[in-house]
Structure 1
């Protein structure tokens, strides 16, 4: 899959994978320290939004996985919390 996201792409429109790649880019730029203060603040803000997006997507995925339980034959039977068992 080709990544068509840009730094201007709204965070809420990014897939989990796109958000992770964008977050890695932000962290790399901030760690290099060669970004002006105003740009650093904007990068930090975008990074915080990207982090939240990733956390939200992971939580959504965990909830989907938690909703699937299997019986002894391996057939999905319904829902159960993640930490039950």
Structure 2
């Protein structure tokens, strides 16, 4: 059986990329037996859903003409989060 450390890495990877079927079955079997890894998986899925909701909220807010950031504020935010999306 795979270790919890390996399973949590695979769970994180599976959020963005499908796992090979044998690996997916091994992960599923492990989380059936391991409540901690199962909780980790639930938390990862909840976090992913929350981030998707927040991203949508931000996209909608960007359409509001009453909400504007200066170029300097956008630059500071981009630097703070390490992103060039702004």
TM-score by length of 2: 0.43
Flag the structure with higher strand content: 1
TM-score by length of 1: 0.43
Flag the structure with higher helix content: 2
